[in-house]
Amino acid sequence: MPRNLRTRIIIVLVVLLGSLWYLYPPKKAINLGLDLQGGIHLVLGVETDKHVANQSDRAAEDFAAALERRGIAHRRVARDGLAAFVVELAAPQSWNDAITVANEFQTFERSNDDQAAGRFRMTMSARVQRQVREDAAKQVLEKLRNRIDKFNVAEPTIARQGEDRILIQLPGIQDIQRAKDLIGKTGYLEFRLVERFVEGGDAEALARQLGPEVEILPRRVVDPNTKTDRLVPYVVVQKRPLLTGSALTSANVAADPNSPGNWQVTVTFNEAGRQRFAEVTEQNVGRSLAIVLDGVVSSAPRINERIPGGNAVITGRFTIQEAQDLKIVLNEGALPATVQILEERTVGPSLGADSIRQGMIAIVASGVVVVLFMLAYYRLSGLIADVALILNLIILLACMAAFGATLTLPGIAGIALTIGMAVDTNILIFERIREELRIGKTVRASIDAGFHRAFRTIIDTHATVMATALILWIFGSGPVAGFAVSLGTGLAASLFTAYFFTRLLFDVIYMGRRKVETVSI
Amino acid sequence: MIQIFRNPNYNFIGNRRWAYMLSGLITLIGIVSLVTQGLRYDIDFTGGTLVQVRFEKIPTVADIRKALGRIGMGESIIQEFGRSNEFIIRAPLTSTSSEELTKKVERALTEEPGLGKAEIRRVEFVGPQVGKELQWQAIYAVVFGLIGILLYIALRFDLKGGVAAVMAVFHDVIVCLGAMSLMHREFSLPVLAALLTIIGYSVNDTIVAYDRLRENRGKTTVRGRPFAEQMNDAVNQTLSRTVLTALTVFLSTAILLFFGGKTLEDFAFVLFVGVITGTYSTTYVAAALVVDWTLYVEGRLGARKKRLAKGGEARKIT
């Protein structure tokens, strides 16, 4: 079968060269997992529920405003549940007018009509709710991507997982804390009027007496003894912000003149924001205005006069880096919904280097032992198996490079295991050939029969283990999936090398024209 | 030519009663340990925070606990990890975020006078939601793995073989989990991966034996021999392959276990135990069960034939 032989040589060469092509240059070809080079793996949950609730709140406010515009008196317009609000009219006579308003709110569906009491309920339609959630997750993803882009990470992974989850992987990052701060911050900036400052420890008692329009917000206080910071109730502020971060055009970093060595962030408003700011300051001279970032008061300066210029300063004893990161967050705009860390795996770079070294030692050692064992037991055939094993590894790594798969520590273990499986394949074949030789067949017939018989078994064994690898890949995530990928590709490579490559070498050595009396096996 | 076995003809299947007792005993020990001591789950499954710290000087666990006690985390699990100056601190789920927790831990450790410089090398946080999901993932993976194997073997071979193979795999899973429970090892995601690999390995081994049996049944020389002997032949014929493969895989996993580093230890431990039990269960669980099942079916068929024959005679008389 010379023609057949040539085709097979070409196939093997193509695979080998293709693999080497993918593996060049080796440093860049294979993505090392976070456990191997250090970095951050985060799974964030986008709180889409909150976003839906916020949207309903806003709709309720809009509805109340619309009623007022038409001169329809109402007793109450308030959110009820996650995605609905209840409208109670002051007088049932204005029912028809109110219904006209309700019909303008097309994203909400009216229900629970009680005309006598002048009460009905508006519920966000399921389709709109889905859309709102989808938009929230999408926008969060987009904003996070922009923030991370500014952070200069070599190869970040930022991806949606399911409906409301975002996976972020930042390999090789050194300053883990900083990256987490940058990602986790919602960046929601508000300006709220202060009703009064909280004095001493009466915060809880105070909270009980407060009306629905106001709430207590904390500020961050650094304990001079322990150097730890904690949140302390600080001011009573109006719930409704006078101005939010959406009204700013840019944020910049400047040295804090009042506290040497610290930095502050100045924000500039857009035209509408400037006007509003001027108005607000004019109307409230003498009162204090709290600058609130993500629910924590950064400062609450007194308004001394109307401020027409439209600049505000956020102070907070920032280091230059913290100030710069806050600038990035403010410039990119707030996340439309808050995020929560559901899963975190961070590996410092030094640990990554340690584990890769140990893993490599183990894999090399197990490889060497197996190679020597095969050589001693099967002689020339063992050598063939060893060469096949090396080819197997090359193909496996090349496949991983080609898929852009990530090599993790369990992945390395998966490779070590594949070595075992690949060896098993060769042992199956060789033992079969030996058996055929023992019953007195010629060398060529034995090789033929041995390969033929063994191959059926090999297909079955590979198929079942492949099935488990597939199940691991489907149901696993992170490290388990990494293991499954290297196991699966390893099995495929082992199948290929055993049948194409090992067979080919046997054919080249023993199936030539000359007579063959013995086989080294 | 080096050969471990020259035409081996051991009576494996004939001794299966002893093996049943051994398997029963080992699984019983495993189950008792699993029930009484339970399995230690990693935060992958329980949720919680894990912090790996390396100290400049070698600290005592008491010092670390004292430092953690100051921030109300004195109850955390503290374990030496790999070397004497490296520790893992595990805290259950709290309301504090992983970020705050890490900061607090780092500060508490660096401020404890007896401890010296501390470097946080790894932080893992798994929220309650994710932990639950991973638990389910693990159960799904094992269950679907077993179903897949059952279906595949039932299709390629027969139902008896499929059920027996799944029993063998199940046996291996119990033995591995039991060994983990006895040795106080931790069940984590990589360990789950190892367990599924063992399922694959065990079934691989079983299929090699089945395959041989099926191949032999086509040969004229075998026909008419008792089924137990046919199975015993198949096991003997594949013996050298079984031993060689088990040996190489065993060597690889042993190297992983002893040199792969602390991170791989639990993973390698399961593989190590699994290779042994996986090889054993092929003969003494899977093959043995197929033999006994077949004998039982043949016995009932024989009895029915006899009854039928008798009944036939009786009818003739009346």
DSSP letters of A423-489?
HHHHHHHHHHHHHHHHTT--HHHHHHHHHHHHHHHHHHHHHHHHHHHHHHHHH--THHHHHHHHHHH
Contact indicator for A222, A243 with CB cutoff of 8 Å: no
Kindly determine whether residue A479 and residue B149, on different chains, have CB atoms separated by under 8 Å. Answer: no
Give all strands of the β-sheet with A108-114 in edge-to-edge order. Answer: A74-79, A84-89, A119-124, A108-114
**Least confident span in A359-373, B6-20, B42-56, B282-296:** A359-373
Q: Are residues A285 and A405 in the same domain?
A: no
Kindly determine whether residue B123 and residue A427, on different chains, have CB atoms separated by under 8 Å. Answer: no
Chain A residues with CB under 8 Å of B208 CB are 428, 457, 461
Contact indicator for A505, A367 with CB cutoff of 8 Å: no
Structure-token match 């408003």, residue found: A269
List pLDDT tens digits, range A476-500.
666 667 777 888 888 899 999 988 8
Kindly determine whether residue A464 and residue B149, on different chains, have CB atoms separated by under 8 Å. Answer: yes
Q: Are residues A306 and A359 in the same domain?
A: no
- Is A449 near chain B, with CB under 8 Å? no
Kindly determine whether residue A456 and residue B193, on different chains, have CB atoms separated by under 8 Å. Answer: no
Give the Cα separation of A390 and A19 in Å (integer). 12
Q: Are residues A61 and A14 in the same domain?
A: no
List pLDDT tens digits, range A357-397.
777 777 788 788 888 989 999 999 999 999 999 999 899 88
Q: Are residues A20 and A110 in the same domain?
A: no
Q: Are residues A263 and A359 in the same domain?
A: no
Q: Which CATH architecture fits B48-126?
A: 2-Layer Sandwich (3.30)
Q: Which stretches does DSSP call E strand in chain B? A: 40-41, 48-55, 77-81, 83-91, 118-126, 186-187
Domain with A241, as residue range(s), is: 185-346
Q: Are residues A453 and A334 in the same domain?
A: no
Contact indicator for A460, B209 with CB cutoff of 8 Å: no
- What is the band of B123 on the pLDDT scale with cuts at 50, 70, 90? confident
Q: What is the pLDDT of residue B317?
A: 45
Between positions 199 and 238 of A, the ones with CB within 8 A of B are: 226-228
Q: Point out the residue among A43, A365, A484 whose CB comes nearest to the CB of B259.
A: A365
Q: Phi and psi for A477 in degrees, rounded to 5?
A: -140, 165
- Higher-confidence residue of A106 and B6: namely A106
Kindly determine whether residue A423 and residue B248, on different chains, have CB atoms separated by under 8 Å. Answer: yes
Give the pLDDT mean for A422-441: 90
Q: What is the CATH number of the domain that holds A68?
A: 3.30.1360
Helix (H, G, I), strand (E, B) or coil at A45: strand
Kindly determine whether residue B145 and residue A359, on different chains, have CB atoms separated by under 8 Å. Answer: no
For residue A44, the number of C-alpha atoms closer than 13 Å in the C-beta half-sphere is 27
- Is A380 near chain B, with CB under 8 Å? no
- The last residue of one of the domains, among A327, A346, A365, is A346
Q: What is the pLDDT of residue A226?
A: 59
Kindly determine whether residue A468 and residue B251, on different chains, have CB atoms separated by under 8 Å. Answer: no
Q: What's the whole-model pTM score?
A: 0.76
Chain A residues with CB under 8 Å of B144 CB are 471, 475
Distance from CA of B255 to the nearest CA of A (A): 6
List pLDDT tens digits, range A67-86.
888 888 888 888 888 889 99
| A166 part of a folded domain | no
Comparing alpha-carbon positions, the chain A residue that sits nearest to B119 is: A348
Give the Cα separation of B171 and B29 in Å (integer). 12
Kindly determine whether residue B2 and residue A409, on different chains, have CB atoms separated by under 8 Å. Answer: no
Find the farthest-apart pair of alpha carbons in chain A and give their distance in angstroms, rounded.
110
Give the pLDDT mean for A98-107: 87
Give the Cα separation of A207 and A214 in Å (integer). 9
Kindly determine whether residue B137 and residue A376, on different chains, have CB atoms separated by under 8 Å. Answer: no
Give the Cα separation of A59 and A65 in Å (integer). 10
CA distances from A359 to A352, A363, B258 (A): 11, 6, 11
- Is A174 near chain B, with CB under 8 Å? no
Q: What is the pLDDT of residue B177?
A: 95
| A171 part of a folded domain | no
- Higher-confidence residue of A187 and B19: namely B19
Q: What is the CATH number of the domain that holds A391?
A: 1.20.1640.10
Give the pLDDT mean for B277-282: 94
Taking each helix axis from N to C end, the angle separating A443-475 and A479-496, rounded to the nearest 10 degrees, works out to 160
Percent of chain A residues past pLDDT 90, beyond the cut: 9
Q: Are residues A328 and A359 in the same domain?
A: no
- What is the band of A40 on the pLDDT scale with cuts at 50, 70, 90? confident
Contact indicator for A89, A121 with CB cutoff of 8 Å: no
A156 preceded by a cis bond (ω within 30 of 0): no
Q: Point out the residue among A227, A343, A379 whose CB comes nearest to the CB of B127.
A: A343
Comparing alpha-carbon positions, the chain A residue that sits nearest to B151 is: A464
Q: Are residues A480 and A359 in the same domain?
A: yes
Q: What is the pLDDT of residue B313?
A: 54
Classify the complex by whether its ipTM is higher than 0.95, answering yes or no.
Answer: no
Give the Cα separation of B257 and B173 in Å (integer). 19
Return the DSSP state at B50.
E
The full set of domain ranges for chain B reads 13-40+131-306, 48-126
Return the DSSP state at A33.
P
Q: What is the pLDDT of residue A200?
A: 66
Q: Are residues A449 and A315 in the same domain?
A: no
| A393 part of a folded domain | yes
List pLDDT tens digits, range B145-179.
888 888 888 888 889 999 999 999 999 999 999 99
- Is A316 near chain B, with CB under 8 Å? no
Q: Are residues A327 and A352 in the same domain?
A: no
Give Cβ neighbours of residue A110 (< 8 Å, ≥ 6 apart): A99, A102, A120, A121, A122
Q: Are residues A358 and A294 in the same domain?
A: no
Q: Are residues A20 and A91 in the same domain?
A: no
| A256 part of a folded domain | yes
Q: What is the CATH number of the domain that holds A202?
A: 3.30.1360.200
Distance from CA of B273 to the nearest CA of A (A): 14
Total domains, chain A = 3
Q: Point out the residue among A344, A361, A427 whose CB comes nearest to the CB of B245.
A: A427
Kindly determine whether residue A413 and residue B260, on different chains, have CB atoms separated by under 8 Å. Answer: yes
- What is the band of A1 on the pLDDT scale with cuts at 50, 70, 90? very low
Kindly determine whether residue B98 and residue A341, on different chains, have CB atoms separated by under 8 Å. Answer: yes
Work out whether the CA dihedral B138, B144, B150, B153 comes out positive or negative.
negative
Tokens of B1: 């030519």
| A174 part of a folded domain | no
Give the Cα separation of A299 and A283 in Å (integer). 20
Kindly determine whether residue B125 and residue A341, on different chains, have CB atoms separated by under 8 Å. Answer: yes
| A99 part of a folded domain | yes
Q: Looking at the predicted structure, is the pLDDT value of residue B318 above 70?
A: no
Structure-token match 């709102």, residue found: A132
Comparing alpha-carbon positions, the chain B residue that sits nearest to A376 is: B2
Contact indicator for A300, A291 with CB cutoff of 8 Å: yes
- Topology of domain B13-40+131-306 in CATH is Multidrug efflux transporter AcrB transmembrane fold (1.20.1640)
